[in-house]
Amino acid sequence: MINKKSIWFLTLFSLILVLSVYYITMPSELLISTNGDYTEEEPTAEVTESTVLVALRLEAEEELLKEMENLQLILNGDGTIEEKNEAFDKMKELNMNKGEEEKLENKIKEVYNLESFVKIKNNQIEVTVKKEENDSTLANNIMRTIQELYEEEKYITVKFVK
């Protein structure tokens, strides 16, 4: 059964998430004070590199939140001890993966000075890098840099977005 704390947490988290998305997607002209000198321009919607990465992050965060919520229901429910242990281990694995993803994004930023999004699923690591053109040498270097951090072999893919 869902308790009141969980409902409040999910409600507030959803509100913060919606407001964050709104703030990120808000045109920068609304944030700048222009002393009443407004010009009539037709608004244009542009998808920039950062919005693609933000969209990927939000999608992954929503997926993680749903999975954590389901696992929390199992932990709070009337399941067997084995089911609760499996749910707890899965939650621990999800948290560790989230930390690993952030560590890899920071490593790519530090070594190559590129914005990126990393998604880890089992033995696969998907890297999305913000760069104008595809560069196979850079992709190979990123894969090597990531693989050096692990003892076991990982399946690493690198994708470039504009």
Tens of pLDDT, residue by residue, the chain (162 residues): 568 888 888 888 888 888 877 777 776 665 555 445 545 555 555 544 467 888 888 888 899 889 888 888 888 888 788 888 898 899 898 888 888 999 999 999 999 999 999 999 888 999 999 888 888 899 999 999 999 999 899 999 999 888
* Distance separating alpha carbons of residues 120 and 149, to the nearest angstrom: 14
* Distance separating alpha carbons of residues 160 and 127, to the nearest angstrom: 8
CATH code of the domain covering residue 135: 1.10.287.4300
Specify the DSSP element, H or E, that contains 123. Answer: none
Residue 125 lies in a domain: yes
Residue 11 lies in a domain: no
Task: Match 């890297």 to its residue by tokens.
Answer: 127
Instruction: Work out how many domains the chain is built from and give that number.
Output: 1
Query: Is this model's pTM higher than 0.85 or not?
Result: no
* Distance separating alpha carbons of residues 110 and 102, to the nearest angstrom: 12
Residue 80 lies in a domain: no
Residue 143 lies in a domain: yes
| Domain carrying residue 108 | 49-66+98-161
* Distance separating alpha carbons of residues 152 and 127, to the nearest angstrom: 18
Could you write out the three-class secondary structure of 72-122?
A: HHHHHCCCCHHHHHHHHHHHHHHHHHHHHHHHHHHHHHHHHCCCEEEEEEC
Residue 23 lies in a domain: no
